[in-house]
A = this chain, B = another copy of it.
């Protein structure tokens, strides 16, 4: 099938670029001596997980229990659910464990840990618990020096649940756009979670897993001594957010949205596309370093980047493109196709049920995805 036969908007994934990106992070993990546990929140596709495993990854990370269940059904049993656990979600975890899942759950909250310990004691189900540590992202996680860290570890060790280890995520690595700053954040990420592991071990408890990761720190860390596993996701396809931070080149972005020109509003100086806020997402994370990118970088239908042409604004089903000059109307007539490199791949892909896989410029297969909750 050729691209021009696709109904638009459509989600495209270039297999060759995907494979290069996967190999790059795998080489980084191998060089640093850690296991790579890719975060499937970006691709949410069983076929992608297969490719990652074949390339050397071990285990997966997910952001929803629906993802966990989907990947379990496809044979992926070693799962980290890297979003804070709540008691109401324990029965679903227990159900997956009964179906063979080796699933690790996470909290940073003593009360939740207490419920997990109690539930484990009552049911005999050995929930595997990671404690989340905050390395500067200011999202979830305990301070590595906190008392709660040791209290939770102690509570779990003395229950029928299993204390698995510690985990952190340097989400603040997205706030930097030079490699030396990212290297420093990577070292802060490593130091913090290793410090947490050391404190727990010093208290007398075994720590199997010392987990960290983000795409920038995974690619640019220079030393991961004391770490057992690296988690990252968006590196598989990259996006304009990562490009704006210097983490990848535009040409390495493997994900795009195929769109059709549906109008020329010459009075307003714009071209209209059939990919709007729903097809691209309203994520503006590239703004910090490249506000001109707007809602995406525009390429020709073959993927060649068109300099200085961006989706400048969106409504629900319209992408608005400010023309560079009047010649753009002739270059991009109504009915012609353009590709858009997304600002944030995870957000954009979530609007689609499957990827159209592109190999040698044609669609070779479709990979289904899991969305929602």
Chain A residues at the B interface, C-beta cutoff of 8 Å: 4, 7-10, 41, 63-65, 83-89, 92, 107-109, 111-112, 115, 132, 134, 138-141, 143, 171, 260-265, 267-268, 270, 272, 274, 277-279, 281-284, 315-318, 320, 333-335, 346-347, 350-353, 371-373
Which of B134, B268, B346 sits near A268, CB closer than 8 Å? B134
CB pair B318–A263 under 8 Å, yes or no, is: no
Taking CB as reference atom, which chain B residue is nearest A268?
A: B138
Q: Cβ of A111: which chain B residues have Cβ within 8 Å of it?
A: 333-335
| B139 in contact with A262 (CB, 8 Å) | no
Given contacts A315-B139, A347-B282, A373-B7, contact A335 B264 (CB under 8 A): no
Chain B residues with Cβ below 8 Å from A282 are: 281-284, 347
Distance in angstroms between the alpha carbons of A62 and B171 in the assembled complex: 39
Chain B positions within 8 Å of A9 at CB level: 373
**CB contact between A334 and one of B112, B283, B318, B350 (< 8 Å): that residue:** B112
Which of A87, A270, A272 has the most C-beta atoms of chain B within 10 angstroms of its own C-beta?
Answer: A272
Chain B residues, Cβ within 8 Å of A283: 277, 282
A262 x B84 contact (CB < 8 A): yes
The answer to whether B351 and A279 have CB atoms under 8 Å apart is no
Q: How far, in angstroms, from A373 to B352 measured CA to CA in the complex? A: 8
Asked if A41 meets B334 with Cβ closer than 8 Å, knowing A134-B267, A140-B272, A351-B350, the reply is no
Residues of B within 8 A of A333 (CB): 111
Taking a contact as CB atoms under 8 Å apart, the answer to whether A86 and B260 are in contact is: yes
A92/B373 in contact, CB under 8 A:
no
Q: Is the CB of A317 within 8 A of B112?
A: no
The CA of A312 and the CA of B325, in the complex, are separated in Å by 39
B316 and A112 contact, CB distance less than 8 A: no
How many angstroms from the CA of A318 to the CA of B64 in the assembled complex? 11
Asked if B109 and A334 make an inter-chain contact with CB atoms under 8 angstroms apart, the answer reads yes
Chain B CB count within 10 A is highest, among A10, A41, A111, A138, for: A138
Are B263 and A140 within 8 A (Cβ)? Answer: yes
List 29 A-B pairs, Cβ < 8 Å. A4-B88, A7-B65, A8-B88, A41-B316, A41-B317, A63-B316, A63-B317, A84-B262, A84-B263, A84-B272, A85-B262, A86-B335, A87-B335, A107-B263, A108-B263, A109-B263, A109-B334, A111-B334, A111-B335, A112-B334, A115-B335, A139-B320, A277-B281, A281-B281, A282-B347, A284-B284, A351-B371, A352-B372, A353-B372
